[in-house]
Amino acid sequence: MHHALHIKNGIVIDPKNGVKAEKMDIFVKDGKIVEESEVKGEDVKVIDASNKLVVAGGVDMHAHIAGSKINTGRTMRPEEMRVVRNIANKFRAAVGRVLLTSPAIGYEYAKMGYTSSFEAAQPPIGAMHTHEELDAIPMIDKAALPVFGNWHFVFKYVEAKDIEKLKTFIAWALERTKGFGVKVVNPGGVEAWMYGGNVTSLDDQVPGFNVTPREIITSLIKAVEELKLNHSVHLHCNRLGVPGNYETTIETIKLAGGFSNDARQVLHVTHVQFNAYAGDSWRTVSSGAEEIAKTMNSMDNVTIDMGQPIFGHATAMTGDAPFQFTLHKLTGARWSNKDSEVEGGAGIVPLVYLPKNPVHALQWAIGLELGLLIDSDKVVLTTDYPNGGPFTEYPYVMAMLMSKKMREGELEKVSPFVQKATNLPAIDTEKTLEEIIHMTRSLPARILGLPQKGHLGVGADADIAIYDLNPLEIDTSNDFEKVYKAFKTAEYTIKSGRILAKNGELVDECWGKTYWVDATGRVDMEAIKPDLEDYFKYYSVELQNYGVEEEWLKKPERIVI
């Protein structure tokens, strides 16, 4: 195997390093991007990338790829598993329509030129399960975000206004779960669900605790910022999936107002499409995207991702257990629920997005509105896989954001409801190729706080995608079909300097790292010990048996802060 590569004559787009479609060569050694001089005298494999687009490997900052939720989804939906993607040979058997098996997840990302993906909701007590599944995904680097927003310890420290202990608890929890950052799902609402309810505003009191969602969110932001974690609070807002929720979303976004961080946002709001509905019922529902975009564009410390629905099959799986039950009531579909000790819950419900269904078409349009109206430095492209649909259709979203003409064609196929309930038809914005590359690479890497990802500067990880697309010639407004096709299947996907896939064919298998953040050096771990020992009486496992040791993981990568 060559440990050095020379990618020759490619047209490079590398937003982080200010490279806008320039013809240049990229050199790789020992899994990193290096200067040309470094590969002198090495056994170098040359890849001719003439007239091809060369970019960093894609970074998916929010997907549900591992753990008890997706696995329950697979179990619930054998009909999803009948699509055969690879027959066992040199590579593993890989199956799945939208829900994929672990090998299939790795393979499909690799074929598309994506090289990192973050599991966006890890139930803390189920951490080991999440890691076992992450360890079963080949090809990509990964990490998991444990969920904090309904954890009784968090309620107690927020109630006591004890930010120091909250920080310590976060450090403890990240270490125990081998987690990467702080995910918050419907803060307080899932605890209310344990009594059959939900919260309806930022100021509802959480049953059994003297705290509100507002206090939970701001305290967690404060704690995370004081700890200086790589990634900010990653928030799934309250009132998801409810008409009129966009106002709560805007109110939530504004909570970041009092905080700042030089390197990144202080709050990432996820799959905002599901939280961008105006109106007061499903009959009067309309888009709240424009108002959210206004707020977003006026703030410089908040980012979002789209949560774009893709027409076709999907499976809703979130830590937002009350929402999942509402969805089950709405559609009558199968429903799984997981109340988890004193940590929160989750739910799983199959669904299908139909273009002629007014609400589905509205959701589809809102996702695109958010992508188009919000500054490209603040919005990441996601489908919230598999909630909005497959990640394998990112190229569709990319092409749509770049082409009004494509959107016009697609708008003709969907329910006319979107014409009056959204502004999508009137939006002329066409994102540039640079913007799209930023939204799928350098921006998510920056949001996550991974300086070695999402770009092609010297020292970066040699995660590279080469696409059959010449940025100097392509007319992205009109040649959207070509754009879609090119991004669907990378000509080359290179991960840590190894060629994994070529024109949609797998050529090599590798096992990526699992990042986790160790902040225990920033806090006094003894401070919360008595609290842990006391409150663990409400667990069904012993404190000493709780959590994941590094040596149980395949390729852990500890980031010490």
Can you give the binding site for another protein, defined by CB under 8 A? 66, 68, 70-72, 74-81, 84, 86-89, 92-93, 95-96, 101-103, 125-129, 132-133, 136, 193-196, 325, 328-329, 334-342, 345, 348-349, 538-542, 544-545, 549, 552
Q: Residue 448 is encoded by which pair of tokens?
A: 């996550």
Q: Tokens 């098996």 — which residue?
A: 101
314 binds Zn ion (CB under 5 A): no
Q: Which does 342 bind (CB under 5 to 8 A by kind): Zn ion, another protein, none?
A: another protein
In degrees, rounded to 5, the angle at the alpha carbon of residue 329 between the alpha carbons of residues 284 and 64 is 95
User: For residue 379, which of 249, 265, 241 has the smallest C-alpha distance?
Assistant: 265
In the list another protein, Zn ion, none, the entry touching 384 (Cβ below 5 to 8 angstroms by class) is Zn ion
Contact 243, 278 (CB under 8 A): yes
d(CA 173, CA 189): 21
Supply the minimum distance, in Å, between the C-beta of residue 62 and Zn ion: 6
For residue 321, state whether it binds Zn ion (rule: CB under 5 A): no
Q: Toward another protein, which CB reaches closer, 103 or 444? A: 103
Do 53 and 109 touch, CB atoms closer than 8 A? Answer: no
Q: Are 244 and 277 in contact (CB under 8 A)?
A: yes
Q: At 124, is the secondary structure helix, strand, or coil?
A: helix
**Binder of residue 66, out of Zn ion, another protein, none (CB less than 5 to 8 A by kind):** another protein
CB of 75 to another protein, least distance (A): 5
Q: Which does 205 bind (CB under 5 to 8 A by kind): another protein, Zn ion, none?
A: none
For another protein, the closer CB: 43 or 542? 542
- The residue among 384 and 491 lying less far from Zn ion, judged by its C-beta, is 384
Pick one of Zn ion, another protein, none as the site partner of residue 120 (Cβ within 5 to 8 A by kind).
Zn ion
β strands within 147-280, DSSP E: 183-185, 233-236, 267-269, 277-278
Indicate which of Zn ion, another protein, none lies near residue 442 (CB less than 5 to 8 Å, by partner kind).
Answer: none
Q: How far is the CB of 236 from Zn ion (least distance, A)?
A: 6
d(CA 125, CA 147): 10
CA angle 36, 40, 46 (to 5 degrees): 70
Residue 173 touching Zn ion (CB under 5 A) = no
Q: Please, which residue, 268 or 338, has the CB nearer to another protein?
A: 338
Q: Smallest gap, in angstroms, from Cβ of residue 331 to another protein?
A: 12
Rounded CA-CA distance 58/436 in Å is: 11
* 95, interface contact from another protein, Zn ion, none, CB < 5-8 Å by kind: another protein
**514-518 and 556-560 beta bridge pairing:** parallel
Task: Choose from Zn ion, another protein, none: what does 126 bind? Cβ within 5-8 Å by kind.
Answer: another protein
- φ and ψ of 213, to 5 deg: -55, -40
Question: Which residue has the closest beta carbon to Zn ion?
Answer: 384
Tokens of 149: 């927003």
For residues 370 and 381, the answer to whether their CB atoms sit within 8 Å is no
Q: How far is the CB of 291 from another protein (least distance, A)?
A: 33
304 makes contact with Zn ion (CB under 5 A) = no
With a CB cutoff of 8 Å and minimum separation 6, the contacts of 289 are 246, 273, 276, 366, 369, 370, 373, 422, 423
171/175 Cα distance (integer angstroms): 6
Nearer to another protein, 105 or 486 (CB): 105
- Residue selected from 320, 341, 343, 384 as contacting Zn ion according to rule CB under 5 A: 384
Stretch that binds Zn ion, among 136-144, 308-316, 382-390, 418-426 (CB under 5 A): 382-390
Q: Which of another protein, Zn ion, none is residue 246 near (CB under 5 to 8 Å by kind)?
A: none
Answer left, alpha or beta for residue 161, where phi above 0 means left and psi between -120 and 50 means alpha.
left
Residue closer to another protein by CB (options 18, 196) is: 196
Q: How far is the CB of 177 from another protein (least distance, A)?
A: 11
Length of the chain: 561
Site for Zn ion in 105-134 (CB under 5 A): 120
225 binds, options Zn ion, another protein, none, Cβ within 5 to 8 A by partner type: none
Instruction: Name the pairing type of β-strands 44-48 and 4-14.
Output: parallel
Tell the smallest beta-carbon distance from residue 59 to another protein (Å).
Answer: 23
491 contributes a contact to Zn ion by CB under 5 A: no
CA–CA gap between residue 435 and residue 296 (Å, rounded): 17
CB 33, min distance to Zn ion, A: 31
- Output the CA angle 436-438-442, nearest 5 degrees: 150
Could you list the residues that contact Zn ion (CB under 5 A)? 120, 384
